[in-house]
Amino acid sequence: MNVGILTIFPDFVRVIKEYGIISKAIENGLLDIEIFNLRDFTKEKHRVVDDYPFGGGPGMVMKPDPFFDFFKFYTEKYGKPYVLLTSPQGDVLNNEIAKELALKERMVIICGRYEGIDERVMSLVDMEISIGDYVLTGGELPAMVITDVVSRFIPGVVEDESVKNDSFYNDLLDYPHYTRPRTIDNMPVPDALVSGNHEEVDLWRRKESIRKTMMKRPDLFMKHQIDEIDKKAILMLFKELMKHAQ
């Protein structure tokens, strides 16, 4: 997959290519991230990308022409990409959207700044994405968040099993994780995890996933499709709660 990020702060965004799983995915040829400086597509000597808003009011607006010139250049070079605009007004990013986006071959993410972008640029945009109901100073962090979450759904970037156990995948939160030492400050690792019995481990993990989801995100649990392991895990959880209640 190829992700282009269009920004006036290329150095800010560049770090996403340099660390962890994303840098490995790039190394392994599963992902390519190209960062474009919007100022390279301005015609003025001072490479200005903003202007005063028609109708007055506070703040500046990103000029439309550098965007149109960038997409003309990009499309001539690579073909038409799927275009995302980072915006607090967009669909709020979640796993379902990320999975869909991971199927795109080429995607360009536009980072806004100032009061936002001239509305006519919307004619170039396929989807507006928000990363939450708050307003950031720019689209660079959202672009990095989108790139990161979408990358995890590109086959081969993260182990399939790992993605499936993560929070939200099946409308459950992830189970608790432990590593060595086996005991710290009188807090031992739960017996099931050191039993060496895979079925016991799986059942314990599902039970704890369900417990966490019911407590922290009951809305998510209400969407979860119950299977046979869930039934056993819920029964186990219920027995545990009854024991504590006695």
**Which strand (E) or helix (H) includes residue 96?**
helix 95-101
Binding region for ligand SAM (CB under 6 A) out of 36-44, 127-135, 172-180, 190-198: 127-135
The distance in angstroms from the start CA to the end CA of the chain is 56
Q: Are 204 and 219 in contact (CB under 8 A)?
A: no
Task: Report the relative pairing of strands 183-184 and 50-51 from DSSP bridges.
Answer: unpaired
Residue from 152, 205, 206, 211 carrying the catalytic annotation: 152
Task: Report the relative pairing of strands 106-110 and 127-130 from DSSP bridges.
Answer: unpaired
Q: Residue 66, interface with ligand SAM (CB under 6 A)?
A: no
Q: Are 181 and 217 in contact (CB under 8 A)?
A: no
Least CB distance from residue 225 to ligand SAM, whole Å?
Answer: 30
Least CB distance from residue 142 to ligand SAM, whole Å?
Answer: 4
Q: Residue 81, interface with ligand SAM (CB under 6 A)?
A: no
Q: Residue 132, interface with ligand SAM (CB under 6 A)?
A: yes
Residue 144 sits at φ, ψ, to 5 deg, of -70, -40
Binding region for ligand SAM (CB under 6 A) out of 4-12, 72-80, 110-118, 119-127: 110-118
Q: Residue 91, interface with ligand SAM (CB under 6 A)?
A: no
Structural tokens at position 26 = 């790039």
Q: Which residues bind ligand SAM (CB under 6 A)?
A: 86-89, 111-113, 115-117, 130-132, 134-139, 142
Catalytic residue list? 88, 115, 152, 166
